[in-house]
Structure formats: structure tokens, C-alpha cells
Amino acid sequence: MSEGGEPQPIASLAGRLLAARDAPATPRRVEARRLGDATRSIIERLVATTAPPEVLADAADRLEAVAAMLGRYEQGRLYDGFAESANAGDPHAFFDWSPLLGRANPLAPPIRVEALDGRVTGQVRFGSAYEGPPGCVHGGYIAAGFDEVLGVANSLSGAPAMTGTLTIRYRQPTPLHVDLVYEATLLEVRGRKVTTTARLLAGDVVTAEAEGLFVRVGTARFVELMRSRRVPGDATGRGGS
């Protein structure tokens, strides 16, 4: 099957995934997730609110105060590893901060991933902030979800890699505010190339399919990217107040 070594079966690593996701959280992680959930709720209400100008002004004042409060602290990653699931050293990295999976990241829907029956599944419900066509999920968000779930499949299979190409076939409009399921399967590991496929379901209806070609990249490259990472307020990338 593989020129670069047989990958570990996805199902055999389900326990590791669940243990990482369900491990007791530190007080800081608990509050970071709570803040992420609260911010997500604000975003959901803001994108379709009918509130009058004075209410919007009051909300903006309060949020500006919160931003100023958080701005007193340094910007930077407070975990070991990387935000992308395929490259995360600390498994909490992508469960907390991923832009697709992370409960502490208000940009995430978030997608809840599991490894079951030899494949990776991701359960998600996209809210109003992700709307493209009326009542439907924007295709770009669907693609980003595929990229992340396929990345999880790569990681769990012992073949972490970065996306080379990602091909999406949109079969049906994908509805908002409905429970959806991503299903991803590893097809092949050949040298540095990893091929995976996935589909997105709304109930029994397949709304989209994807195939990804991923390329293995050495750890040294990720260390280099981490060292060069820039954050607001510090041109050196080391963080600052």
C-alpha cells in the first residue's frame, strides 16, 4: 500500500483521539472555551440582528471594553504544537484553537471529530454566520471543513501532512442550522504523498464530496514556521503587549 511505510489504522487510534478531546481541562481551558462559545453566540446574533442603533452602540461599547481588557496581555500561542490538526504536537492545540474544530476559537462552528469504524467523522451545525446562498452553507466553509477533517484522518493514520490539492464536488445545497456529518477515509500513502477522500451528509443526502492530496513535510519545517510566526504588536514574532 505504501512506499513510505504502512500507516496505522484509523480505528486503532480512536482511543487516543477521544482521550485527547475528553481529557480534564485546566481552569484556563475551561474559561477559554466558555469565552469562545459566548463570542460565537454574539456572532450568530449579530449577523442577522434587527436591534436598533442604540442597542448596537451599547453592544459595541461593551465589546470594545472587552477587547481593551484582553489587549493588556501578550499575544501568542500558550500551548505547544500547531493550530492545524495534522501538525498539532499537543492534541489540545487543535481541539481548543483550530479555526474549524476549536471551541476556544470563535471562528470555528465547531466541528466535533471522532474516529469510528475505520474512518474519521466530524459532526457540525453551521449557523447564520456561514451563510452563502440563502439558507445554505457557503461553499468555502464546506471546503475548509473538508480540509480539516481530512487533516485529522492523516494525523490519526500516522501520516501527518500538508494540503497539496483539494478537490470539492458540490452535489446539493448544504443547509444551515442542520446537523451535518463529514466522513473521511485514508486511501493511500505513497512516499511523501497521502491521498484521502471524504463526503458531507445532511441526513442521508450527500451534499458534497472531496478528495485531498497531502504532502508530508518534516518536523524541522514546522519548527521553522513556528519560529517565524508573527503576532500583532511585535514585528519579531515573539509577542508583545
Task: Please determine, for residue 69, whether its predicted confidence score (pLDDT) is greater than 50.
Answer: yes
* H-only helix segments in the chain: 14-22, 27-46, 53-70, 92-97, 139-156, 219-228
Rounded to whole angstroms, how far apart are CA atoms 111 and 104? 12
183-210 average pLDDT score:
94
Give the residue among 48, 2, 36 at the shortest CA–CA distance from 177: 48
| Spans of all domains in the chain | 11-25+76-223
For 93-116, what is each residue's pLDDT tens digit? 557 888 999 999 999 999 999 887
Report whether pLDDT(130) > 70.
yes
Residue 211 has pLDDT above 90, yes or no: yes
Percent of the chain residues past pLDDT 70, beyond the cut: 73
Ranked by mean pLDDT, which of 126-140, 144-158, 226-240 comes out on top? 126-140
- Out of 2.40.30.10, 3.50.50.60, 3.10.129.10, 1.10.357.10, select the CATH number for domain 11-25+76-223: 3.10.129.10
The Cα 16–Cα 115 span in angstroms is: 9
Quick one: average pLDDT of 203-228?
84
CB 21 within 8 A of CB 87: no
Predicted model pTM:
0.81
The pLDDT of residue 238 is above 50: no
Average pLDDT of the residues in 85-98 = 58
* Banded pLDDT at 127 (limits 50, 70, 90): very high
Antiparallel, parallel or unpaired: β 119-124 and 162-170: unpaired
Judged against a pLDDT cut of 60, whether residue 1 lies above it is answered with: no
